[in-house]
Structure 1
Amino acid sequence: MCSLLTLLFCATFLLSFINTAKILGIFPAPSISHQIIFQPIWKELSLRGHQVTVITPNPLNDTKLTNLTEIDVSYTYEIIARSMFVNNLYKRENTLWTLWMMYDVGLEVNQADLNDEKVQSILKDTKEEFDLVIFQSTHNFNVLTLGYGGRFKCPLIAISSLGVFLHAHDAVGNPTHPVISPDIMLNFSGELSFLDRVKSFLFNFWYRFLYYYYALPKADKIARKYFGEDMPYLGDIEKNISLMMLNVNPIIHTVRPNVPNVIEINQMHIRDKKPLPKDLKDYLDASPRGVVYFSLGSNVKSANLSSNIRQEIIGALGELPYNVLWKWESDYLPDRPKNVMTRKWLPQQDILGHPNVKVFVTQGGLQSIEEAITNEVPMVGMPFITDQPSNIKKIEDLGMGLSVDYKTLKKEQLKKAIMEVAENTKYKENVQKSKAILVDQPMKGVEKAVWWIEYVIRHKGAKHLRSPAADMSFFEYFMVDVVLFLGGCVVLALYLVIKIASLTKNVTKSTKKVKKH
């Protein structure tokens, strides 16, 4: 009894030093591949005693998390499903078109969230307060969510499930050199050619013009309908971000100089292995020659591929000497080969952890690549959208796999790539080398993320980490005024030299004429 009282006293004593907070999380992107990065964070914050309210299309629905309130906005998946952006995923449109579509669908999703009855009840409650707002800063799904920071007048933390666009770096004064750190949408990898450098330079200007003079003003007008006319300008709220956390890693992403309030995290969703369902375990165990795991992720669905691409893939998989496990999202796969098993959903991390899996055919999403590396599985990449092409290019450069182009895909190409990666041990060896680097960290990604979140809570913001560059105009940061001033001085000096030389010449001529006369 005495020891129990002692434990209770110690627990009470320790809890008295925990600075618990009310936290609002806004994670609007209807994509499970993004949400699985954020879920461990709000779960851990809840377990640490913080009162967490989350707006998400993928709630955990865990009754054990008593400090967690989740507002389910899963209906926004319907918006994505019918959008032009998704319907044109397989056409690989140009970067400018993709950005425009992402922005428009992002606004539509944000407004659907804001119109939710439970969200409205929070916004309209004049007594409601939060100590911190954490919002998703991936692609353009974050523009309207900035309004929550203005509404509750508290510190802001931005978190991304991959890299972020130029405007997010601008908000915290992070360097965005067009050659050293090209924007993620450009999908550049390795050493840039001269043409790539020109494209990146021009994109830096074009994107900023689009964001600051079109996207932000348009979003600000919409935001005032939900957060009130007295709210600050969204661009000013964006400048109030205390911390920005990026889900990047040293294997896939180029090393870049970051200001102190930009924190890199990774392996957020990597978890301990769970037992496989019996049918999958039996299938994998009964494949001594090996298994090829085929999945194009949650956004690019195999079942939506054109019949031509599907037939080429089926032809290649059917000729392999291995069994194949394919994430196929419908009930029926036409012309399914005998060595292929399909399932609408598969526990990817647990499958990749099975020793008989020889190759992972992947779309090249960041989370899938991290799972493959941590499970030491080499890859064949078939990239489609956003950062996938550059991710797969890096996989090739590091010798961890090969890539195929779905637009020109032939069964012989896919079969050859899979066989090469499966049979040549160099690919697995290179994956093992990358794993040694990836997992060698002082703390796990979730622990790091939560530590920094609580750091902001403890200090009621992190203005002391803010770079002066965040408050500079474009002209000040790039010293355009200084360059113009110095250029003007040079021009003036040259003008004076020429003028003096001309006067001297005229005086000399006059003197000679006088002497002659």
Structure 2
Amino acid sequence: MSRRFILAVFTLLASVLDFGEAARILAVFPAVSVSHQVVFRKLTLALNKRGHELFVVTPSPVNDPSLKNYTEIDTSIQYNEKDALPNLIELRGKVDWFGFFEVFEPMVTEQVAQIFEHPDLKKLYDPNSGEKFDLILMQMFTYPGLMALAERFKAPMIGIVSASPQTSVQYAIGNPILHSDPSNWQLDMKIPGPPSWIPWKRLDNFIQTWRFIYYHRTVFLPKHQKIAEKYLGNDIPDLHDLEKNISLIFVNQQGPISFARPNVPKVIEIGGFHVTDNIKPLPKDLKKVLDEATQGFIYMSLGSNVKSNMLSEKARNAFITAFSKLPYKVIWKFEDDQLEGKPDNVIILKWAPQQSILAHPNIKLFIYQGGLQSTEEAVSHAVPLIGFPVMSDQDMNLRKMVSVGVAKKLEITKINEDDFLEAIRTVAGDDGYKQRMLNLRSLLKDKPHDILENAIWWTEHVIRHKGAPHLHSTTADEPWYQRQDMDIIAFLTSLFVISLILSLLVFYKCIIYSIRLFSHPTVKKSKKRN
């Protein structure tokens, strides 16, 4: 009886857990940004815990020797390329979204070649390696040449992005292109923007969006095609086809804090992976300062890509002067050893335990650059915001936060002490911002399922069925002019123009005929009189 009972319990547990067969997964995450990597890492670690074997290509490895069946290929050399980038804050205002892409393009193109050259990855994709994978998990963010690894291993591919997909990915999978919708990354990236006359602004959005899509498909992808062919052979498929036939894409978006937009079925929302409920204790010295900040404190960080030491002297002085007039303590993530003119109420830290700081009950306000991961953390801890967007999706994230009444958005290239002080006093002093943030947090937590578990289910769904062609949208196979009904519009416009021309010709003939008709008898009468 006991043996039967044990067997029954084991069977029940197996059916509930449903681990299924372990798969071999190659995960490729090239982005040189910790804020991106923490999102991907949560999924790969969960898949490993589920029983799958992971090979992870990343510049930010976890380096945890206790992990089994979890092999990391360290590409941290990529950070050397990133250090050569120009000052991103200075770049804002001088170029539009496309200009930012042009700055990053040489770096990411070089990094794709570096990753292919990595000896540990070379061993895997060598034709004689005998290595096989059941799935390729690929970051979809300006590194398209690496998608060819899915063809090398004849494995289905799942894309993952740590923000909403850029326009080129939206186009590739068949999503509608929304030129002037607030969900578009490329809005507000050019400072000053186009004139306020709305039709002209929409025209500018249209031109900038299609300019980027055209460049991506006709210049950028062919460059990466050549790199992929160099390392994997000339017989790999066109990257355009690999991109549009991806099984599905995990998109780091959550409805309440993102602009709603139509998506094809292969877009699966994830989000908040990296936000933890197990908040680590603050360092003792910092905890003492924050505990004693009975009037409250402000936390400022411009993230891991945009740094406070990139600020111009004018902007830095505006921040310093404004902070000196506040009754609050200010914790400022500042990457230099010294901050000249630092007020007594300001504490600078080269590195800050952000989630632990945001979780502290005395916090009044978070000043940041609009990054999505920081936005998720702020909402999770119900901390109102002031944002200074610089690049990528940061404008879009702040547009959403402002629209729901939990943030103010300022322009970092035009910062002045008075506007900054007014924004701080408004957001920190108005309880409405806090209450709306609490409501937003409640909405964010009200979900029909666990997002991480849902992502694991979809991952294993693709593995079980060796792809997901049933999620493919036929729109992705159509040329651009059919997607936008441009052929129909051109046809109808041609008919209209031809009809208009014919009508004008007929009208002209009628006028001429009428003139001749009425003028002819007059001529005859004049002849008879003579």
Where does 1:164-203 land on structure 2 (aligned, <5 Å)?
164-180=165-181, 183-187=184-188, 193-203=198-208
- The alpha-carbon distance between structure 1 residues 326 and 490, as it changes in their structure 2 partners (threshold 3 A), is closer
Residues 9-18 or 336-345, more deviating: 9-18
Superposition TM-score, scaled by structure 2 size: 0.87
Secondary structure of residue in 2 paired with 1:82: coil
Where does 1:198-347 land on structure 2 (aligned, <5 Å)?
198-272=203-277, 273-347=279-353
- The alpha-carbon distance between structure 1 residues 187 and 455, as it changes in their structure 2 partners (threshold 3 A), is farther
Secondary structure of residue in 1 paired with 2:317: helix
Deviation per CA, 1:76-116, whole angstroms, max 9, x where unpaired? 11101112475855565222211212222211222221111
Is the Cα contact below 8 Å between 1:267 and 1:444 reproduced in 2? no
| Aligned pair partner of 1:51 in 53, 60, 66 | 53
Deviation per CA, 1:372-400, whole angstroms, max 9, x where unpaired? 11111111212222222332233233221
- The alpha-carbon distance between structure 1 residues 492 and 387, as it changes in their structure 2 partners (threshold 3 A), is closer
- State the 1:40 CA deviation: 0.3
| Aligned pair partner of 2:424 in 418, 428, 432 | 418
Is the Cα contact below 8 Å between 1:381 and 1:392 reproduced in 2? yes
| Aligned pair partner of 2:42 in 30, 40, 43 | 40
Residues 428-437 or 173-182, more deviating: 173-182
User: Counterpart amino acid of 1:253?
Assistant: S
Deviation per CA, 1:212-271, whole angstroms, max 9, x where unpaired? 111111211122111111111111211220101211233443211111111122212111
Is the Cα contact below 8 Å between 1:146 and 1:238 reproduced in 2? yes
Secondary structure of residue in 1 paired with 2:145: coil
Residues 4-13 or 365-374, more deviating: 4-13
Is the Cα contact below 8 Å between 1:54 and 1:71 reproduced in 2? yes
Q: What is the aligned residue count?
A: 505
Secondary structure of residue in 2 paired with 1:178: coil
Deviation per CA, 1:286-326, whole angstroms, max 9, x where unpaired? 11111111111111111232333222212221221111111
- State the 1:412 CA deviation: 3.0
The aligned counterpart of 1:515 is: none
Is the Cα contact below 8 Å between 1:318 and 1:339 reproduced in 2? yes
Where does 1:429-508 land on structure 2 (aligned, <5 Å)?
429-485=435-491
Where does 1:77-92 land on structure 2 (aligned, <5 Å)?
77-84=79-86, 86=88, 88-89=90-91
The aligned counterpart of 1:513 is: none
Superposition TM-score, scaled by structure 1 size: 0.89
- State the 1:180 CA deviation: 3.9
Alignment partners' CA distance in 2, 1:498 and 1:123: 68
The aligned counterpart of 1:386 is: 392
User: Counterpart amino acid of 2:450?
Assistant: K
- The alpha-carbon distance between structure 1 residues 344 and 192, as it changes in their structure 2 partners (threshold 3 A), is farther
- The percentage of counterpart residues that share the same residue type is 37
Secondary structure of residue in 2 paired with 1:220: helix
Indicate yes or no: 2:117 matched with 1:115: yes
Secondary structure of residue in 2 paired with 1:25: strand
- State the 1:359 CA deviation: 0.8
User: Counterpart amino acid of 1:257?
Assistant: P
The aligned counterpart of 2:370 is: 364
- The alpha-carbon distance between structure 1 residues 170 and 91, as it changes in their structure 2 partners (threshold 3 A), is closer
Deviation per CA, 1:154-210, whole angstroms, max 9, x where unpaired? 11111111112222122221111323466312248xx99323311222223212221
Alignment partners' CA distance in 1, 2:414 and 2:181: 31
